[in-house]
Amino acid sequence: METELLIVVIAKAITEVAGMFMLGRGLLYLLAGAKRDTNLFYQVLCVVTNPVVRAARWLTPGIIVDRHIPFVAFVLLGWIWLGIVLWLLPDLCASGRVDCTELLQRKAGG
């Protein structure tokens, strides 16, 4: 697999993993209730997702309330993933600079 394609696929995978952790954090936020801060699993998810939340806080204007920032982070990850899947990856494969046959064969083969 060529380096450019590998970088894009790794970025897509990191975005997917971060999105799944953010989704898990949101679900546990709802399920754990008021005692979520003492829940070990919620604390672990917060530690893993805090870099994404801090980046979202840095990107958003100060008018956004802090309690909404994790949702904003999840939405930003969704937009990043869509950008990779719908714009960057097809553009890279269609340009002819990168051979995407191996990636396409893996998708078709399951």
**Domain ranges (residues) in the chain:** 3-109
pLDDT in tens, 23-77: 999 999 999 989 999 999 999 999 999 999 999 999 999 999 999 999 999 999 9
Q: 91 burial class (0-12, 13-18, 19+ CB within 10 angstroms)?
A: exposed
Residue appearing with tokens 């894009």:
8
Report the chain's mean pLDDT, rounded to a whole number. 91
pLDDT of 110 reads: 55
How far apart, in whole angstroms, are the C-alpha atoms of residue 84 and residue 34? 37
Q: Is 62 helix (H, G, I), strand (E, B) or coil?
A: coil
Query: Model-level pTM?
Result: 0.85
Structure tokens, 28: 């546990």
